[in-house]
Structure 1
Amino acid sequence: MAYTLLNTRPKHQAEDLNALLADAGIETLSCPLIEIDWLMPKEPINQQSSALKNDYDRAVFTSANAVTGWLCWQQSSPANRIGFKQGIAIGKATQNKARQNHIDLTCLSEQKFDSEHLLQHSSMQNLKGQRILLVTGENGRQKLPQTLKQRGAQLDEVFVYRRQPAPFCRLQWQQFLASKQPVLLISSLQAWEQLKSQLATYYQLKDLFNERAETQIWQAIDAVLVYSERIANQLVEDGYNGHIQILSTQSDQGVLQAIDALTGKSNQ
């Protein structure tokens, strides 16, 4: 069965996934919900850079975008070159992005790639006196930095990118709903919130999960692929009652495997 995926990832992260799915005979429509702005030291958000230490016990990278932003930030000035004894990646995609750029990061979880599972690892329990640098995006979740501090870490944060809402891609959305087997990809809670906002405006709906919305939008979609259980829970809480498939691994390959799983179910 031929599925069509609405690839809602930021443009620079969508291209590799589109190529992978095209090789597998799966059609994609690119419709980014979030744009990424790289933050350079000249921007006010990074004025804290002068207070950062020259060497850390650990550096935690929260995403592949954190790796890319870190490289841009480090390369912009020799003064920004900061060392660390151990690098930690949240997720295989983050680890792979670092490896491609000759940065050695350890992934402490093999399957579940989020702050909660990182914090469950035995090496992340007693952090008293450890100097930890958190490399992340602006306005991210606070659970990770708060917990690291609570466990005794001397924590510094550097924000290397900013998420911005992308314009609504109306044409791609219309093509997506008109396709035979439409599958929606949601990679973050922010992307989901952005899509809801765009659809509420586009359809002039106050309630995105009433009977009219079900008929116009959600019943036309075969499944929603999500990157985490947390996103899946939010969809259910908001009122979505269609099929939700949680990726087994948060990666391009994980998306392909999830679509393959849908194909297997449809053939049963």
Structure 2
Amino acid sequence: MRDKARQDKAKQDKELVLKGQCILNTRPAHQQDGLKLLLEAQGAKVIAFPAIEIIEPETTDFHRSLIENIEHYHIALFVSRNAVDGAFRYLEPDKLPAELQLGVIGDASYRALLHRINLAEERLIRGHPHNSEGLLATSALQQVAGKNILIFRGQQGRNLLGDELRARGASVSYCEVYRRKKPEYGADSFAQITTEQFPTLVVFTSNEGMENLLALTNSRERGELLGITWLLISERMRESAINLGHNAATIIAANANDEGIQQTINEWASKQAV
């Protein structure tokens, strides 16, 4: 019986591909739980240290008039799940024009949108890969001359989407529905959560998250962080990581959602074990 129990435990440990790994999750606090559960189910220790805080912007007249003015737009685009959540603080699902096309970047944005409205497939615009370039490549955004397009995003977001759509003849407006800020921590907060085990991999989903984490740590901690594997969600982020001084391996998530990040980390860990 004891031999059988040992064999079962050995088999279970072998199946836990992330056993022994310590993953630092820097996503905003309200986006931590799903990934944490997936990684822990594979045996990882997960340390939560949000490097970005998502807060509401100052409400403007543009925000207040959205319900009435949304009918003037042909297309509304949401650049992230936070953009969907932020937009529907000002929009009412049952007051959206039936002919309004809705575009999203990423699976998380898509699911957040479906959670709020019943969306017919012909009204939906989704691109692959899940970034601005992928959305711009969709057939629905090729012939947009004369159309009014509204882009929901965070403050100081990328201008690529709007710039390219304007170049194609569209009239583009931005609606900034959330702000990012660097969280406030005590001087030794990072040291306290990494005392037992320093991370073997860090999950970043934005350039700002990388910058903030390095700013929130001391010189010794920064040196260690720059020397371990980082998971990123785009090649563009890899360039930023190099510019920040990261000198270890980077891996790019198959998808920016929880499942895509988990899959990529599992594949990375499997290679480490060989």
Q: TM-score of the superposition, structure 2-length normalised?
A: 0.80
Structural mapping, 1:51-200, within 5 Å? 52-75=69-92, 81-83=95-97, 85-104=100-119, 106-110=124-128, 112-168=129-185, 170-176=188-194, 178-179=196-197, 182-199=200-217
> Equivalents in 2 of 1:167, 1:30: separation in Å?
14
Kindly name which structure, 1 or 2, has the bigger radius of gyration based on alpha carbons: 2
Is this contact kept in 1: 2:66–2:91, CA < 8 A?
no
Shift of residue 251, structure 1, vs aligned partner:
0.5
Aligned counterpart for 2:266 among listed residues 255, 260, 265: 260
Q: C-alpha displacement at 1:55, in angstroms? A: 4.1
**Cα distance change of structure 1 residues 10 and 140 upon mapping to structure 2, 3 Å threshold:** same
Cα distance in 2, alignment partners of residues 38 and 32 from structure 1: 17
- Structure 1 position 7, deviation (Å): 0.9
1:20 corresponding residue in structure 2: 38
Matched-pair contact (CA < 8 Å) for 2:24–2:199: no
Measured at CA, do residues 93 and 177 of structure 1 come closer, stay the same or move farther in structure 2, by a change above 3 Å?
farther
Unaligned runs of 5+ in 2: 1-18
Task: Give the Cα–Cα distance (whole angstroms) in 2 for the partners of residues 34 and 171 of structure 1.
Answer: 15
Number of aligned residue pairs: give it. Answer: 251
RMSD between superposed Cα atoms in Å: 2.8
CA-CA distance at 1:67 after TM superposition: 0.8
TM-score (norm 1): 0.82
- Asked if 1 retains the 8 angstrom alpha-carbon contact of 2:63 and 2:90, the reply is no
Q: Does structure 1 conserve the Cα–Cα contact (< 8 Å) formed by 2:67 and 2:91?
A: no
Q: CA deviation at 1:184?
A: 0.4
Contact 1:92/1:107, CA 8 A, preserved across alignment: no
How many percent of aligned residue pairs carry the same amino acid? 26
1:45/1:154 Cα in 2 relative to 1: closer, same or farther (>3 Å)?
Answer: closer
TM superposition shift of 1:154: 1.8
Distance 2:272 2:91 in 1: 48
Tell me which amino acid in the other structure corresponds to 1:244. T
